[in-house]
Structure 1
């Protein structure tokens, strides 16, 4: 039995991880620490609150004393660190919050973990740090995908702040002997994702007959990963990963942004054609008037420092830990779209 502290567990990936873990490991305790900033939503965890093995704590990772108290009082042996400011556009307009949360906040957690798990007598523990492929920078069309040995070259304040946190985690292992692992994942999508991100933004804009903004020519390439495939990777790392190692978690699924937009539009067109009740529930959506959703696509000025291509080489985690994504991209998009259609009150409250 483990007791996990999941930071940022009321956010997108953290929420999905909580449900994944409670279902797969019902004997474990899961404690979520979340500051409930704009992307953290306590409503995400309504079902989790019904589980006696779950506890929510409203607090900030910057509060080292609070973290130390949680680790001690609950005999926590595992930290899974999701908490982060993660939206690139926001990091460009306001980088300070990213430095504070992603670098200073991660350092605060590391200090607390070192004090409780090492300084007061060694205890069995694991600090798992969840990072991003954006720390590696950008790829040219013919470049090989990012591997764990790819040099860091972050191009946005967000990516730079995550790179800084990665280095701190590594340093606490090398210098103090803290048992750490790190995962760098590709773009996640799925339930509970805040509507400012690409895929839920498309879905909710279609349902409200709003333009679907596409940066520049829309030919940017990303590797996409269904969120529970990411959680599977973290699970394998926690169970079988080697301490001190970094593992890239990817979907082997490079997609052009514009193609993703067109796929979501096509899925929505099909759903409205096959489910007549959707026309009554979402009367503003283009298919209700016989127009294809793709008519909403609008090209906008590209953002500053926009990386052209990301791609993940996940051979290490596949070969060493047996990782294999479970969801195809089309299947994941259909599951995600269905989730947003069924949970209109959840996202309506966020986009008003």
Structure 2
């Protein structure tokens, strides 16, 4: 690595250039040296001037209009600076008269490397090493950022970076999966499978050549399970996907609660062709095959709604009993699970009353998973 020696000074008014009286020495690699040379060339200035400009910009971005003199005089602590950087306080709210017991010049950093933030992880950038990623996905009480919202951009993880340490590796993969989720927070199973293949199959390098295929299958099964355990199964009998967070899941469950209410309200209308026709602005004398076909399609959609709501209730019964959801026309003692169960019970009674020939036609139309969900206990 190349050593670079440049000079810096405390901020001074731009109209009064001051001598550079403090020398700083740091190490960088060839790539960092090339980057610095390029920035100096395009700005037609010294490398030291580039660094001073970057420092000035970063200081202003994180600490707003804080005068560096207050730091130099020992009136600002490291915790004060963190609070400013995180938007938890303002310069006006700091006590800049009293001396701090934790001055910045006495701070001893825990790491040689610049700490990454959740925002850094979610944005494109240079690859991070295993130790940095591992520390980032630790629990907050251990100094990490792990929660339902943590995302990691694919550019931050090399294809051979992960190590065979299940918990941090699974969390890193989960962060990668979240960064590729749809806007509604859904992650397809295929995304998880692709991530495991891309970032984990090198972990079979300790397996004998003759066992490589079995080793890969073991890796796929192990890490796929570890990742999906961090996510939330999509409460649909036909979906092979997951939700990123409890917030996304609860939004979906609220939809299914509303769906249960809707299918119950329509049970007396949709299950009889003539009743449906009279309420659907159809011609009373029209009994053509086209109209019956339209009724069958709508009936199939109604049954699919029942299957989806029923599967959600079965999959997330505990969440629906404990969660805070909106329930129309329910007393205070009724949980969301109770409401879904009661309303689907009414709808399923109407399904049981359908003529045998109509049921047979519907079974042919519906996905097997939907039929299973409706028929299951």
Question: Which category of TM-score, normalised to the shorter sequence, fits these structures?
Answer: under 0.3
Output the TM-score relative to the length of structure 2. 0.23
* Structure with the larger strand share: 1
Output the TM-score relative to the length of structure 1. 0.25
